[in-house]
Amino acid sequence: MLSMGIPSRMAAAVQSMFGGLNVLRQRVVDAVLADDHRLPLADSNGAMTGPGAISVAALQAARECYEVCARLHDEHAIKAAIDAICARRGVLPPDDKKTIGGYIARAADHAWWRRALRKELMRRFEHTSIQLGLTYVRADPYVSRETCLAQAAQNEANQKALAAVSAINEHGDVYSLAELAALGMGNKTLRRGELMLRIRGFEEVADKMRHVGMFWTVTCPSKYHSVGGTNAKYTEFGSPTPRAAQAYLADVWKRIRSSLHRRGIRPYGFRIAEPHTDGCPHWHMLLFVAPEHQTAMECVISAYAMHEDRDEPGAIKNRVKLVRIEAGKGTAAGYIAKYVSKNIDGAGVGDHKVFEDGRTYVIAPDMFGNMEFTASQRVTYWSQVWGIRQFQQIGGVPVGVWREFRRLSEESVRNAPEPIREAYRAAQKVESDNPAIAQRADFARFIRAMGGPTVGRQAAIQLAKRAEDVEGRYEQVEAHRPVGVYLAAQPHAVYESTRYRWTIDRAGVALAVPRTGVNKYTQATKAPTDVVPENKKFTSSFNAGRSFDREGAPCARINTEAIYLHHKKRPPGGPSAHLAHLQRKYKKE
């Protein structure tokens, strides 16, 4: 049963099945074998396709795009050809909202292709695993073991790359990028702490306003669930991916939100996207609302969540569930804490339990080789592979303003209006052994200073931004960067935050430089022997107009503007590129 392109576990899953299910799974494998345009899922030994094969395929794709640019001289023809190359390999084309120079730069860059092909391969591999029942509670919950190993290796490689690159600010302070990343929301402990801080703040505000809390769970119709590869409805519906299921839930919420808005109902809280063990997401939502709106909101959410396939068996029981959080029977923050923790790092949760097929299962850690994977790690990998945002605030005040206040100094707001100073005090955490001095950040106090939990984007305090031209990886872009805050009633008085200017030192870090074998526009500097062998030259193509040799030494700059002018669309009535060349060559004296 082993064939080129089929992982050994997937082949065994079909070989061991009999009857009707065998036919369904055999069709999945046949489709994989017939797909000869995209990367195979596995090598000839049945192991998952690795980074080496992805890198080779990325190099080939970048070369093909380069050849298109050299052969064609019309912007639309170039984009059509590159779009076709992307479609054949199963990846989305570069963003066409940018300039044509940036579009070509991405398509001709080996690093861009490597990222796109890896994402496509991981998602296709995991989707196939879901279809064959290898991603399920009785096999590998949430994501397959191959995906766990591949994503863990990628995360480790990313961490090593960050640790190897230094950043220096204007004060001479030197940190690795890994150290700086650990100070932000990439740190799981900090991420969990901030989420719980904001949830508690919402609850405290709701208590003051005598609003009620409701905990919702909304699930997709059965046709979005593989159920270990046994659900015929799933196959008949086209075997949707977890991303398709997430899009369905987002669309349902969009309709719910619009309906509530028309009724003047403004809920606020959080939603958590969590996977079933077959990878299909469901949403948990903690929402607070005025008590007079509670019944109306229940009707709206239930109606839209049940709109599609409402008559299917089990829909009424499983599709929508509501728990009213009653005063005196636990806090809302305490109720949702386990869901936050189990989807980040599992801290304080105990056994990781799931309810599947009418039974409660405990998801125990797994050992593959010398690596242990907990249930929370699997959920994180699921989110990373499918690009699904796990946590999202609903309503409330902009969190960007909250974080900006953490960057302000006391001196910068000393003479500010009272709302600014009140919001600043709420956002500060003071650590001290003296209880009279120690202070925790208070999100509830901050919400009140901003105008209340339903104020939304009309908050009393806004984020100040400044437009800057930034030399990006592929082109120059205009970025609007936060620089402080201002009172909405006084937009010209900006209270600036403390920010540092960092210089990235990549010296000696060969792996940090994207590489490609396309050398058409590369002019390497001379080596000590005055000769640079062809196999020792590589380039990041249009990476800020600079190419590098294998030792990391910069080569001649690439004139991206000239490349753009060479490939841009001919103006109406203008000469062709060849005719223009002849006119320049033989112009009249």
Query: From CA 137, how far away is CA 133, in angstroms rounded?
Result: 9
Cβ neighbours of residue 532 under 8 Å, at least 6 residues apart?
A: 524, 525, 526, 549
Do 462 and 488 touch, CB atoms closer than 8 A? yes
Do 190 and 180 touch, CB atoms closer than 8 A? no
Do 348 and 341 touch, CB atoms closer than 8 A? yes
Of 526, 520, 550, the C-alpha closest to 537 is: 550
Q: Which two tokens stand for residue 455?
A: 């104020």
Residue type, 173: D
Give Cα 229 distance to the centre of its chain.
27
Buried b (16+ CB within 10 A) or exposed e, 179-201: eebeeeeeeeeebbebbbbbbbb
Cβ neighbours of residue 587 under 8 Å, at least 6 residues apart?
A: none
End-to-end CA distance of the chain: give it in Å, rounded: 74
Of 459, 454, 466, 340, the C-alpha closest to 402 is: 459
Helix (H) or strand (E) holding 484: strand 476-487
The DSSP line for 257-276 is: HHHHHHTT---EEEEEEEE-
Neighbours of 476 (CB within 10 A): 13
339 catalytic? Reply is: yes
The DSSP line for 18-50 is: -THHHHHHHHHHHHHHH--SSPPSB-TTSPBP-
Do 325 and 216 touch, CB atoms closer than 8 A? no
Provide φ and ψ at 142, rounded to 5°. 75, -55
Q: Which of 335, 424, 474, 486 is catalytic?
A: 335
557-566 contacts, C-beta under 8 A, 24 or more apart: 558/521, 558/522, 560/101, 560/105, 560/475, 561/101, 563/69, 563/101, 563/104, 563/521, 564/99, 564/100, 564/101, 564/104, 566/73
CA 570, 575, 580, 582 torsion: positive or negative? positive
Do 322 and 214 touch, CB atoms closer than 8 A? yes
Of 50, 59, 60, the C-alpha closest to 118 is: 50
Q: Which of 142, 224, 304, 339 is catalytic?
A: 339
Query: From CA 425, how far away is CA 439, in angstroms rounded?
Result: 10
Q: Which residues are catalytic?
A: 335, 339
